[in-house]
Structure 1
Amino acid sequence: MAPVPTRLNVAPVPPDEIFALNGAYFADPNPQKVSLGVGVYRTDDGKPWPLPVVEKTEKVLAAENDLMRHEYTAIEGDVPFLGLARDLMFGFESGDGDKEAKARIASVQTVAGTGANHLGALFLAHHMKPRTVWLSNPSWANHMTIWELAGVPRKTYPYYHAATRSFDFDGMMNTLETEAEEGDVVLLHACAHNPTGLDPNKEQWIAIAEVCERKKLFPFFDSAYQGFASGSVEEDAWAVRYFFNNKPDMEMCVAQSFSKNFGLYGQRVGAFHYVTNRSATSIRDIVVNNLCHLIRGEFSMGPRIGTTIVKKILTNDELIADWHQDLQVMSSRIKTMRQALYDELVRLQTPGTWEHIIEQNGMFSYTGLTPKQVYALKDQYHIYLLKSGRASISGLSEKNVKYVAQAIDYVIRNIL
């Protein structure tokens, strides 16, 4: 019998670099191997770190034995969680004092930050039909994939100035001023830019908000590191809150992740917030309704366990204090490792300038290493980072930082 041809028209898709790199790291038997690829917090022993406040909360929840933990939620998700997520992101206090401002925000639960970005892109593609989405160059690689799958043409604005290893504010602003058109979406990292670790300062954020308002651009914030980057949830939400509070006639949206700041990587906890302008609050419920239509056809509703943990923490003053302490532990260790790597490269008199390592912010550093140097680190030293030179600082420790610095020193001196 002759074989039946497939009806599919498919071609190979390149593997995801981060997950492929992580797989290669785990398969490597070398005892000195170092993972600087995947963006997951690690202790100084290189181990995962369930936040102590999360472990405490899990014990409380287990003792409560709430049978509803196995039930469905609503399509829009865990409604009490959504109110807490919104208040955390936009800085609302408890009570009704912010009732009018809250009325501008349509919120739904998502499958972590990736799901929030995807749902937002799909919603805007269906209902706003932007001609272009502007992504920073470089940006998180998944941003490109998400907007490609949503069918929205992508363009990039300059973000990283390679010669000085600094934020290219002038290049970004010039491109948005001269090339972006009314109705275009501008993807902005709320803090701890991935992959560069470079953020606008507050004066620059004010200028970015002004150009978005004047040119009628649509800001789309990706907030993956609130509280994790600086240790302060207020500081890391500053840009989002400035746009929201100072540009009330401008619509925007926020994709919010709880993976990093609560250590809930596997629980997939996220939210998407669409912000109407102050004259259009009457459409908020319609926005939620349309978001729910997309959710129902894709995953029906978000998972429950992670949101229950977040809810329990954010509604208990003692647990909130514990969580803030855990945020300080994580952010402080990242900063300590940045300083340790910088100090060791300076001690070795490694050619070039390395101030950017301590000037950058958050989990990642854009090291400035070339792809050839990155491959040499992997092949000769079993040190794994992305070919762009992006390194996850959380993979550094007191035990391996000298080894990593010596390896970087070697490839800088010997491999162009």
Structure 2
Amino acid sequence: MASPDGIPVTVTPDTVSKANAPSPETAALPGWLPLLLGFLTAVGPVSTDIYLPAFPALERSLHAPAGSAGMTLSAWMVGLAIGQITMGPLADRFGRRIPMLIGMIVYTIGSVGCAMATTMTSMCLFRLVAAIAASASIVIPSACVRDLSSGNEAARLMSKLILIQGIVPILAPMLGGIALDYISWRAIFWVSSLYGAVCVLFLLRAFPETLPQEKRRELRPLSLLHRYAIIARERSFITNALVWGFCGFLSFTYLTAAPTVFEHIFGFTPAHYGMLFGLFAVCMIGSSQINAALVGRVSSSAMLGWALVISILGAIALLVVVMLAEQYPGSGHHIRQIMLVPIVGCMMITLGMTGIIGPNAMVGALSNQSHYAGSASAFAGTMQYALGSLASTAIGLLPADTPMPMAALMLFAALMMGVFAVMRPHVAPPAQPG
């Protein structure tokens, strides 16, 4: 799996459910199916990242104050939080193809609404609708992998999806930033709607139903609520999931604030900001690959602990640099001339560690959830998106003419991750009974 900002989560054969062994009719996978699943999975990261360089242009066009475009990202996160926890049960009840088809149709309509929006309020509303629908493409392709394969084959299929999820966050803002030199921000959403329409066409013409009728489950809301209550009471889950959630808070603080900070304060062009975004994404993906290389040699808990220490130190350094630079007279000039290199360096350290923190926090959250792994994963994802929406909302309400809110909220998130990491049980509790 991957986080909303594209950080790959290490997948091993043991993480793949063995309950959904491939049926005879799905055992032989067509070579194009993993590519199609990857194409569908990329809808979420593309829609999150490609318009980030357009925040200042969006605010000018809609006559909104600086920093207010972050509210559209907050609306997107709220939609993903709602969709994350609902799409899984819907796909288990009605199969994979129909919910994903409806989701992509609604996503396409929502993207058209974004392209035609005339106020920031209508933009937020259409982003909310599009996000709930896009959740289908985030949740269901992973379920399709479990339907079609198990063991090593499932891990190989999942790794292909993760590769796409890792590359997209690097390319999308670069492409969006370059495009803004030639076209309006509205064209980005027209392209998103075209992407959705192509997904609908593929789902209609080529995508097979991967969940047989006999494996579908009844949809019982009260039973789901009871299941989530059981999961939330388990200490190793809730503490690790909150580490994962505040990892999202940190990432979405950066995602929301960075376009305004680097384009308004530092004078970056959208294309240059897209390149900087790619640099940060490379740091996150690189650290996740280091994490994967150390699996089996260093304990997951130790890797999480060291990564948190480094991330907290980076966030402290970031806040100190911002505070010192703003003490100078004429701080605007000094911000542009003095702060850029140390700010980028501190952010690389702070954000880069999320590639280690995220996977290991999720491993800890699911370590005692073998019976409810799917629901626990969706619950943790919803927590992350919900906290991410709070971060985006806070950035939208705070002053946009200084990097101080970004630095302060990133440190807050890093410290909260540290607090909940300390609260984790030192010895895993017994597995839940069947």
Asked if these proteins are the same fold (TM beyond 0.5), I'd say no
Greater helix fraction, Structure 1 or Structure 2 = 2
Greater strand fraction, Structure 1 or Structure 2 = 1
Return the TM-score normalized by structure 1: 0.30
Return the TM-score normalized by structure 2: 0.29
